[in-house]
Every structure is written in structure tokens, then in C-alpha cells.
Amino acid sequence: MALTFPNESKEYRNARDRLLERELELRKLSSDIADERSRLPAGGVVPEDYVFERLGPDGAPEAVLMSDLFEDGKDALIVYSFMYGAERKHPCGGCTLQLDVLDDASTYIQQRANFVVVAGSPIERITAYARERGWTHLSLLSTAGNTYNRDYHGVDSNGGEQPMLNVFQRDGDLIRHFWGAEIIDAPTLPGQDNRSNDSIDPAWSMLDLIPGGRGSEWFKTYPE
């Protein structure tokens, strides 16, 4: 390969070149998967036009239909299920990590797609936590009055919350499910940890680059 670095050993260079070959394979596979995902056939029609709750311009709670979340010219809707149900004393630290990053990134995401974050707590509780974290760009909604999280696996069959990511598509007058992060419920292969939405989180990706990798305990202390 073309690159070398000062004072590296032949052993290091040989190992790094082998790793680079795998990184190239991964880049191609990642691109191929993205292309295949983009060509998925039409998914199922959503069972109802879910009614969420958000804070209106005057700071008072107001109802909003799922169909109203689609802005003109943008037919994709990304929905992140934030693990902060009414029964939780504290929100999920892993979700908080991702949303800290996505708060700023959402200004770019929204240029191409609609993006909202939903949670099962009352909207006042969700937005109070958002103020505490300094989130100013995320579109936050409460699912407290609907079955969205249960229907689309933000809540599992045992009632436990999951940081589920779903994408919906407006198809004329219909809304269809396009893609969901089903890997969150897939069996974990031997020797692997249960990775799911970390692919959208730069913090995990950066830590994967260091000696020893991301470790298994760090996220449990976040954001404490």
C-alpha cells in the first residue's frame, strides 16, 4: 500500500496492510448494503395516523398527526425511539449520548429528510430533559397517548424499551414503513456484542479506532 508512517516496523506494516484490505471490503459491503436498502419494495401501510404530542409555539402541549410530520418536498420520515418512558427514573444514557450528537446533526438531516425523536414520557418531561442537555434542534414528541412504540418495536414484547430506529415513506395519501433497525432483536453472533444503532454514532466509531477499542463499560456511566 502507498502510506507508511515514521519508524514503523515491517511487522506493523504487514499487519496494517492486511487490515486495510478488510477495511476496503467493509467499505464496499457498507456501500452495497446502503444501495440494497434504498431499493427495498414498498413496506406495510401504517395502521393509523398516530397522534403524538409536542410543545407548540406558545409552549403549551399540542397534538400532531404523523401525517403532519412530513414537510413539503420531503417524503421520508426518520423516527428515533428514545428510551425515556414515564416509568423511568432517568433516561437511557446510551440514547442520551446519541441524541447529544444528533441534536446538531439534525439540522443537516432535516435538509433531506424529516427527523423526529419520540419517547413515552409526557412531553413536558421530555422537553425538560432536553433543556438540561442543551438540545435545541431536535424535534421531540411524546407517544404517551398512542401505540406507536409498541407497534414499531420501541417497546418489546415484554414491555421493555428499545432505542429503535424506523424510517417511513409518504406514498401519495398513504404512509408506509420503509425500514427498521431489526438487528436490535436479531441473535448476537458468538464473540460479538449487541451492536445496533451505534453505526450512526460517531463517538462509538471513534473509540473503535483506539488500542483496546470501545470497551464494554464506558457507556454505562454516560452522561453521569
| Domain ranges (residues) in the chain | 51-182
Residue % of the chain over a pLDDT of 70:
93
Taking residues 127-131, what's their average pLDDT?
A: 97
* pLDDT at 193 > cutoff 80: no
What pLDDT sits at residue 6?
96
What's the mean pLDDT when you consider all of the chain?
A: 91
CATH H superfamily, domain 51-182: Glutaredoxin (3.40.30.10)
Residue 188 pLDDT exceeds 50: yes
Is the per-residue pLDDT at 224 higher than 90? no
HEC string of the chain equals: CCCCCCCCCHHHHHHHHHHHHHHHHHHHHHHHHHHHHHCCCCCCECCCCCEEEEECCCCCEEEEEHHHHCCCCCCEEEEEECCCCCCCCCCCHHHHHHHHHHHHHHHHHCCCCEEEEEECCCHHHHHHHHHHHCCCCCCEEECCCCCHHHHCCCECCCCCECCCEEEEEEECCEEEEEEECHHHHCCCCCCCCCCCHHHHCHHHHHHCCCCCCCCCCHHHHCCC
For residue 184, what pLDDT is reported? 82
Q: Could you tell me the pTM of the whole model?
A: 0.91
